[in-house]
């Protein structure tokens, strides 16, 4: 994700504390594809991890809303790929930093698909800089998209899921939200906030059969990673116990489990890392 994340990985040695939360028995059986097409909203799905999630869930036969803010062409390509694999999809332009955009998107989801069954809050940005030099806009822009956007989307989605008395919300956090990272005070605060929001919403939404979990990726081999160059990538890999970067498709596989698998209907309030072992450190 950035040179700052590299610094985190090289120094991370603390195991993750995974807090087990009491979950409530769902009032209905977990969703299965046999009950009909599940409608999934994936924010920030025009590229990277979001595009991989959208395509993966589309290939499972879901109706997928491919959200984007600026990249219309790539979003439409994701829509076409989903249709070619057996799912259905539409692209909706909506800025996750704008509440009016978010409300309009969910209104369209209700009218076109009858409401949202699964929400994947994936959209995210970075505006890195040392804390003492961070400009107010750098701070606020990242909080607005990465944290406030997750809150408002969850609010809108829950409104639709509560009526169905079922639903699943998956929030894209980061290992940076668990450990912090120099140069990413804004990003770490937002991603850590997402983990707290995940637990609070899990407790509030459980009574309506809605689960809420977060996924915390480590270093995923996106276009951004390639920009680091070969030498830097080798150093990154040496700090990862599994010795390689993750793939967006691997994150998508975890999201697919949380979104669709029947047994995941009994998992709520957790932040699950998918990081090649960064959380446990590189060892000696
Ligand atoms: P990416 O390649 O930069 O893609 C970001 C996506 O978010 C794009 O589709 C972008 O679409 C969309 N987006 C950005 N701002 C938006 C906004 N205001 N409203 C709606 N959509 C917006 O990022 P990525 O690497 O796939 O990361 C996806 C998520 O995983 C993020 O939340 C990120 O923090 C998290 N994550 C990534 C890594 C990693 O190593 N890559 C590690 C940990 C966590 P437009 O171009 O249309 O704006």
Q: How far is the CA of 124 from the centre of ligand 1 (A)?
A: 4
Whether residue 3 is annotated as binding a ligand: the answer is no
Which of 42, 46, 49 has the most ligand 1 atoms within 8 A of CB, as the residue to mutate?
49
For ligand 1, say whether the CB of 214 is within 6 Å of any of its atoms: no
Q: How far is the CA of 221 from the centre of ligand 1 (A)?
A: 13
Q: How far is the CA of 145 from the centre of ligand 1 (A)?
A: 10
Cα(157)–Cα(105) distance, rounded to whole angstroms? 10
Res 233: pLDDT:
79
For ligand 1, say whether the CB of 171 is within 6 Å of any of its atoms: no
Which of 3, 50, 237, 278 has the most ligand 1 atoms within 8 A of CB, as the residue to mutate?
50
Q: Between vectors from CA 115 to CA 208 and to CA 270, what angle results, nearest 5°?
A: 45
Cα(160)–Cα(101) distance, rounded to whole angstroms? 17
Cα(76)–Cα(74) distance, rounded to whole angstroms? 5
Q: Which of the two residues, 282 and 65, has the higher pLDDT score?
A: 65
pLDDT at 35 exceeding the cut of 80? no
pTM tops 0.85, yes or no:
yes
Res 187: pLDDT:
96
Whether residue 46 is annotated as binding a ligand: the answer is yes
Cα(172)–Cα(93) distance, rounded to whole angstroms? 19
Cα(216)–Cα(236) distance, rounded to whole angstroms? 17
Q: Between vectors from CA 203 to CA 199 and to CA 207, what angle results, nearest 5°?
A: 150
Res 17: pLDDT:
29
Cα(102)–Cα(96) distance, rounded to whole angstroms? 6
**Closest C-alpha to 5, from 258, 207, 190, 233:** 233
Query: Is the Cα dihedral 47, 123, 125, 197 positive or negative?
Result: negative
Grouping H, G, I as helix, E, B as strand and the rest as coil, residue 68 is strand
| Residue 6 pLDDT level (bands cut at 50, 70, 90) | low
Q: 188-210 pLDDT, tens per residue?
A: 999 999 999 999 999 999 999 99
Give 179-199 as a DSSP string.
H--TTBHHHHHHHHHHHHHHH
Res 222: pLDDT:
83
Mean pLDDT of the residues in the chain: 88
Residue 125 has which token pair?
């940005």
Res 27: pLDDT:
32
Whether residue 47 is annotated as binding a ligand: the answer is yes
Cα(144)–Cα(279) distance, rounded to whole angstroms? 27
Q: 54-89 pLDDT, tens per residue?
A: 999 999 999 999 999 999 999 999 999 999 999 999
Question: What is the residue whose two structure tokens read 């890392």?
Answer: 273
Whether residue 49 is annotated as binding a ligand: the answer is no
Closest ligand 1 atom, residue 49 Cα: 26
Res 18: pLDDT:
29
Res 228: pLDDT:
65
Domains of the chain and any CATH numbers: 3-280 (3.40.50.720)
For ligand 1, say whether the CB of 103 is within 6 Å of any of its atoms: no
Q: How far is the CA of 26 from the centre of ligand 1 (A)?
A: 31
Res 282: pLDDT:
67
Grouping H, G, I as helix, E, B as strand and the rest as coil, residue 91 is strand
| Residue 231 pLDDT level (bands cut at 50, 70, 90) | confident
Cα(102)–Cα(94) distance, rounded to whole angstroms? 6
Please identify every residue annotated as catalytic.
Answer: 187
Q: 133-152 pLDDT, tens per residue?
A: 999 999 999 999 999 999 99
Q: Enumerate residues 6+ apart whose C-beta is below 8 A from 171.
A: 121, 150, 154, 194, 197, 198, 212, 213, 214, 215
């Amino acid at each position: 994700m950035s040179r700052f994340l590299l610094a985190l990985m090289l120094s991370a040695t603390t195991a993750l504390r995974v807090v087990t939360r009491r979950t409530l028995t769902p009032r209905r059986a977990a969703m299965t594809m046999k009950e009909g097409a599940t409608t999934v909203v994936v924010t920030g799905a025009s590229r990277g991890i979001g595009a991989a999630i959208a395509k993966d869930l589309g290939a499972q036969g879901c109706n997928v809303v491919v959200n984007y803010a600026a990249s219309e062409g790539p979003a439409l390509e994701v829509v076409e790929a989903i249709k070619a694999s057996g799912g259905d999809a539409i692209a909706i332009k909506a800025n996750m930093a704008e509440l009016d955009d978010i409300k309009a998107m969910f209104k369209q989801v209700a009218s076109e698909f009858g409401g949202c069954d699964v929400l994947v809050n994936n959209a995210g940005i970075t505006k890195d800089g040392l804390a003492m030099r961070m400009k107010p806009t750098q701070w606020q822009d990242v909080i607005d998209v990465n944290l406030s956007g997750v809150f408002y989307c969850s609010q809108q989605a829950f409104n639709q899921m509560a009526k169905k008395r079922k639903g699943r919300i998956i929030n894209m956090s980061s290992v940076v939200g668990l450990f912090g990272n120099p140069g990413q005070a804004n990003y770490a605060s937002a991603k850590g906030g997402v983990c707290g929001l995940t637990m609070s919403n899990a407790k509030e939404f459980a009574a309506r059969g809605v689960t809420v979990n977060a996924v915390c990726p480590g270093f995923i081999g996106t276009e951004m990673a390639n920009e680091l160059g070969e030498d830097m990538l080798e150093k990154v890999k040496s700090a990862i116990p599994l010795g390689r970067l993750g793939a967006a498709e691997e994150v998508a596989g975890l999201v697919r489990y949380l979104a669709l698998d029947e047994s995941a209907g009994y998992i709520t309030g957790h932040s699950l890392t998918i990081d090649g072992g960064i959380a446990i450190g590189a060892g000696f």
